[in-house]
A = this chain, B = another copy of it.
Amino acid sequence: MIQKINVGLIGLGRIGKVHAQNLTREFPDVLLKAIAEIKIDETIKEFIGTLGMVRQDLTQDPQEIFDDPKINAVIITSSTDTHSRFIQEAVKNNKHVFCEKPLDVDIPRIVDTLKVVKQSGMKLMIGFNRRFDPNFRKLHELVGKGQIGTPHLIKITSRDPTPPPIEYIKVSGGLFMDMTIHDWDMARFQANSEIEEVYAKGGVLIDPEIGKAGDIDTAVAVLKFVNGAMGIIDNSRQAIYGYDQRLEVFGSNGCLMAENEANTTLRTFTKEGIRSDAIPYFFLERYTRSYVNELRYFFNCIKKNEDPKPNGMDGLVAILIARAAQRSYEENRPVKISEIASEYYIDNFSNFS
């Protein structure tokens, strides 16, 4: 007989709602048992009604989830500054954790959290959902099967359709931390190698207000991997035609390219020319399936007692690279990841993995 996994979810923001819906629809052997959300209003109540959940399943206090012995796993989708605290609390209470990215922005706190997780023996997975996009996942698998030989070059195009509000940008940690964080992870994932050094270049080309807020809106980065491969990332906060998400891995025996998805396969031929249908507007539309896939994978890891990837160490490394990129941009020089790591006395990543 299959034992159901009982899940508690903390944080019902935009991404929390996505997970809540997926949890109640897609996994017959998973029960979303409780949700903690600090602001409970009518919208939230209505929302949980659509999930088939009732008032009693909802709490303002995450501690109720940590204290519930029937809950096996916690999904953390609350604000970034709460991540470390909730992860620690969860694993101490013998719950596996799926935590949204970024793990945290404070490196010592991350290091501390990873130690606690390690001691607990519980599983921690970080929500780098793009690894579970069917296109990028299959690309990764084909690279792994050697279809293009040894990777020489990883190229990532990652552009948002529109910048977030200036207020958000002010607290975002900067483009390299907030937006490129996915790309740092994707680059490592596709190269099957650690990033050794990064050179980042940026500018304020879209909105001067972003510059006034201390951030940039356009960036490129060159990566050097430990295995000798190189990487290129380009970011923009405003691709006016939609969410531009492409990936290319070039190697000794060929090249793999993942193009943008299209809303439909339609093409229109008229006097004015040939039009294809638009690409998905933003991440909720583009990465729909990845959110289901990452949870499915997480629950499988629990069932099979396997360590999930991306794990806490992957979450930490992405933060280190973001810091290196920020410094590279500020000082206009290539920066080694080890330069950042050593400042936090992190000299052996594998201690935490």
* Interface set of A (CB-CB < 8 Å, partner B): 25-26, 28, 49-52, 134-135, 138-139, 142, 147-148, 150, 152-153, 155, 159, 199, 201, 203, 205-206, 218, 220, 222, 224, 228-230, 232, 234, 236, 238-242, 244, 250, 252-271, 273-279, 332-334
Q: Closest approach, in angstroms, between the C-beta of A254 and any C-beta of chain B?
A: 4
On whether the beta carbons of A147 and B270 are closer than 8 Å, the reply is yes
Chain B positions within 8 Å of A257 at CB level = 266-267, 269
CA distance in complex: A239, B28 (Å): 35
Which of A255, A277, A279 has most chain B Cβ within 10 Å? A255
CA distance in complex: A52, B257 (Å): 41
Q: Closest approach, in angstroms, between the C-beta of A235 and any C-beta of chain B?
A: 9
CA distance in complex: A313, B253 (Å): 39
24 pairs from A and B in contact (CB 8 Å cutoff): A28-B50, A28-B52, A134-B263, A152-B206, A152-B218, A153-B234, A159-B250, A205-B252, A220-B232, A239-B250, A240-B253, A241-B273, A253-B270, A254-B269, A258-B265, A258-B266, A259-B267, A262-B274, A273-B275, A274-B277, A275-B275, A275-B276, A276-B276, A332-B334
Chain B positions within 8 Å of A234 at CB level = 153, 155, 230, 232, 250
A interface majority secondary structure: mixed
Copies of this protein in the complex: 4
- Please judge, given known A-B contacts A142-B266, A257-B266, whether A201 and B220 are in contact too, CB under 8 Å: no
Chain B positions within 8 Å of A28 at CB level = 49-52
Q: Which residue of B lies closest to A135 (CB)?
A: B264
On whether the beta carbons of B222 and A241 are closer than 8 Å, the reply is no
CA distance in complex: A75, B241 (Å): 41
CA distance in complex: A99, B340 (Å): 50
On whether the beta carbons of B269 and A138 are closer than 8 Å, the reply is no
Q: Closest approach, in angstroms, between the C-beta of A212 and any C-beta of chain B?
A: 16
Chain B positions within 8 Å of A253 at CB level = 240, 270-271
On whether the beta carbons of A254 and B229 are closer than 8 Å, the reply is no
Which of A229, A244, A256, A260 has most chain B Cβ within 10 Å? A256
Chain B positions within 8 Å of A228 at CB level = 203, 205
Q: Closest approach, in angstroms, between the C-beta of A149 and any C-beta of chain B?
A: 8
CA distance in complex: A224, B201 (Å): 8
- Please judge, given known A-B contacts A159-B250, A250-B239, whether A220 and B255 are in contact too, CB under 8 Å: no
Chain B positions within 8 Å of A265 at CB level = 135, 258-261
On whether the beta carbons of A138 and B222 are closer than 8 Å, the reply is no
Q: Which residue of B lies closest to A49 (CB)?
A: B28
- Please judge, given known A-B contacts A218-B152, A264-B135, A277-B138, whether A255 and B230 are in contact too, CB under 8 Å: no
